A and B are shown apart, each in its own frame.
Chain A
Amino acid sequence: MASENQSQSSVDTGSQRLDKDTRETLVGVARHGLLLAWSFVVLFPLYWLASMSLKPPGSANSLPPDWLFLPTVYNYIRLAQDGAFLAAFANSVVMVSASVVLVLLIGVPAAYVLSRYDIPMERDVLVWILSSRMLPPIAVVIPFFVIFRELNLFDSRIGMVFMYVSINLSLVVWVMKAFFDGIPETLEEAARVDGATRFQGFRKVVLPAAKPGIFSVAIISFIFAWIELLFGLVLTNFKAVPVTLFVYSFIGSRSIEWGMLAAASMAMILPVVVFLVAVNKYLAAGLSFGVVIKE
């Protein structure tokens, strides 16, 4: 009797374990299925855009869509031969890159000072910096237009660089201040005791430790400036036109050039991807401060 009970219970345990394994497998399948479905949702517009850019003129926006078509690079060739597009693209690359360099040059030291020094009314200064982003851009675009006109910045690349800097500065300062707050002050103290000046301590010790943060805000700033349309629309008309505005110009009053719009949009993705790939290792590396024990 007793042995029968025993064997019965052992079988039970076995079947339960099997159930558990099956359950885990099912959960795994469900999870991956869900993620697959989600990535489909996310990637579908990109696929749509890419396929639209590779379709011959006329069939780009046909409904129902041509799922099977002979891809052509016709739109890309037209785009590459379009001087205005190349100029706008170059404009954007130059203006956005310059703005990222400038916003880091201003924002990172500012964040460091706000993090490390006793600034009177520090909280207020921080909120004041953030307040530059509190109004919707549409509310300030007209005043900016007037100011730009008065300062001879209208339709100038330098003006657009300033514009992009003002868009991103608050982000850089806030994120980097939080980042510096997380780096123990004893690091700089150790550097100063080791014979470094305060500035050397910042440059040689803190800045390298802050690299992941700096590259993160650089990418975000790059993207925000790269996709900016409204200020470009109002503050430029010929010389300093950014690529976003050029892409927008394919939407005419009577017709939309879908193929060209898609090809130009695809081209716009390229620099962001290149930038991301270039700095990816800095983002992944050293995101931990395992070296220093927090007090």
Chain B
Amino acid sequence: MASITLDDVTKEFGDGGDAVVAVDDVSLDIEDGEFVVFVGPSGSGKSTLMRMVAGLETQTDGDVYIGDQIVNQLGPRARDIAMVFQNYALYPNMTVEENMSFGLKMSTELSADEIEATVTETAEMMGIESLLDNTPGELSGGQQQRVALGRAIVRDPNVFLMDEPLSNLDAKLRTTMRTEINRLQSDLGVTTLYVTHDQTEAMTMGDRLVVLNYGELQQVGTPLACFYRPANRFVAGFIGSPSMNFFEGEVADGTLVADGFEYDLSERMRANVGDRTAVTLGARPEDYTLSEAPTDNGFEVVVDVVEPMGSVSYVYVRSVAASHDETFVVEVDGQQPISEGEQLHAHAPATDVHLFDTQTGETIHQRELTDDAENALSQPLENATAGAD
């Protein structure tokens, strides 16, 4: 077991003027036994960051520590890590048993009997003991996934690295394996880095999320902190599904004027906005209500499309007063009868709304939470943006 520390780590691909910065000056402390999820869109540098921890890429600048040891100069084999790859990377010419014992043969002094015993034990834990004599080509995708996990676990490494391990599974299996990896990780207590572009996986799996975009750290925090206290507009839009709705506007005399509606800012909002004028209002689909009667701070919308999900419906609406055709999404109770073309009033209460600086994207006003939720986040309002750099 070990902690992981990244200290001003930068990775550039190519050289000179053509260099592409994949990871830009990232510093991060990961505690021993923690489950940390690197999440971001493709090209955000999340995989590169993990591969630098693995030693499969060498950082252009900065230091990587595993435990107290600087591992910059160490190859992957000396770092005592185990990795699960997106394509599983099972050795095609070896049986499952040989796949699982390969690492033990390569990196330990264990005898053949001890290796066999360890492999059998892990295989039983993973429920793959009946597959030990098969080759990977004979296994289903889900079984290959289990073998890949088993091959990592059997090593009993300091650190698990998982690079989008579930993305090749079908939706149902993915949900099952998600739970299983969660359970395994908490049982084994091994420090785990997990890369995904799937925000559902990110929310449900990690102790902490590391949100990346264009190689830059956007926010580090618990899933709920990233959800309720996004450091900036990118995190607010990336975490949560469907995404938060954003409306760019101008603030004048305590009112935000956007294309399609006006929003009277509360006292706390005004204080947070200060003398900024270009401000973006952000509100999650579930924080809007649609009603027939006009509401305070609400505005008239026309329903474009209704997507019933069962327990909830996603309603795509367009402001009647807007000069454009863009819709935004509102989540309503699945039983609320709403039909396309209907005219309703949309309203997001001042307590639930975020405000962002339009120029920098930085969060300038966070929504309010219940006291319990606030305590659970253990992240006071004032410091909510401190995670971002």
- Interface, chain A (partner B; CB < 8 A): 184, 186-187, 189-197, 200, 204-205, 208-209, 211, 286, 288-295
B135 within 8 A of A: yes
B318 within 8 A of A: no
B85 within 8 A of A: yes
Interface-central residue, B55, B90, B94, B102, by most chain A CB under 10 Å: B102
B106 within 8 A of A: yes
Additional A-B contacts beyond A189-B76, A193-B76, A196-B102 (10; CB < 8 A): A184-B87, A187-B89, A189-B56, A190-B83, A193-B56, A195-B106, A196-B77, A205-B91, A286-B93, A295-B87
User: In the complex, which of the residues A189, A192, A197, A291 contacts B92, with contact meaning CB atoms closer than 8 Å?
Assistant: A291
Nearest chain A residue, comparing its CB with the CB of B75: A192
Report Cα–Cα, A194/B144, bound state, in Å. 17
Residues of B within 8 A of A189 (CB): 54, 56, 76, 83, 85, 89
What number of A-B contacts does a CB cutoff of 8 Å give?
94
Report Cα–Cα, A184/B144, bound state, in Å. 16
Report Cα–Cα, A195/B141, bound state, in Å. 25
Quick check: A195 and B107 within 8 Å, CB to CB? yes
Enumerate 7 A-B pairs (CB-CB under 8 Å) in ascending A order: A186-B86, A189-B56, A193-B161, A194-B155, A291-B136, A292-B88, A292-B136
Q: A186-B89, A292-B90, A292-B92 are in contact. Are A193 and B54 (CB under 8 A)?
A: yes
Query: Would you list the 5 A-B pairs with minimal beta carbon distance, nearest first?
Result: A195-B107, A195-B106, A194-B103, A208-B93, A291-B92
Residues of A within 8 A of B64 (CB): none
Quick check: A200 and B106 within 8 Å, CB to CB? yes
User: In the complex, which of the residues B86, B103, B161 contacts A195, with contact meaning CB atoms closer than 8 Å?
Assistant: B103
Q: Could you say which interface size class chain B belongs to?
A: 20 to 34
Report Cα–Cα, A194/B81, bound state, in Å. 8
Nearest chain A residue, comparing its CB with the CB of B84: A190
Instruction: For the complex formed, measure the closest distance between the CB of B340 and the CB atoms of chain A, giving whole angstroms.
Output: 40
B242 within 8 A of A: no
Report Cα–Cα, A233/B33, bound state, in Å. 72
Quick check: B93 and A211 within 8 Å, CB to CB? yes
Residues of B within 8 A of A195 (CB): 77, 103, 106-108
Residues of A within 8 A of B106 (CB): 191, 194-196, 200
Residues of B within 8 A of A190 (CB): 83, 85, 89-91
Instruction: For the complex formed, measure the closest distance between the CB of B162 and the CB atoms of chain A, giving whole angstroms.
Output: 12
User: In the complex, which of the residues B86, B94, B144, B151 contacts A295, with contact meaning CB atoms closer than 8 Å?
Assistant: B86
Residues of A within 8 A of B103 (CB): 193-195
Quick check: B87 and A294 within 8 Å, CB to CB? yes
Nearest chain B residue, comparing its CB with the CB of A205: B91
Report Cα–Cα, A150/B252, bound state, in Å. 93
Instruction: For the complex formed, measure the closest distance between the CB of A256 and the CB atoms of chain B, giving whole angstroms.
Output: 50
Quick check: A293 and B88 within 8 Å, CB to CB? yes
Scoring B residues 111 to 143 as 1 if CB is less than 8 Å from chain A, else 0, what string do you get?
Answer: 000000000000000000000000111000100
Report Cα–Cα, A195/B76, bound state, in Å. 7
Instruction: For the complex formed, measure the closest distance between the CB of B147 and the CB atoms of chain A, giving whole angstroms.
Output: 10
B82 within 8 A of A: yes
Report Cα–Cα, A295/B88, bound state, in Å. 11
Nearest chain B residue, comparing its CB with the CB of A285: B93
Report Cα–Cα, A192/B81, bound state, in Å. 10
Report Cα–Cα, A209/B107, bound state, in Å. 22
Report Cα–Cα, A186/B162, bound state, in Å. 13
Quick check: A194 and B136 within 8 Å, CB to CB? no
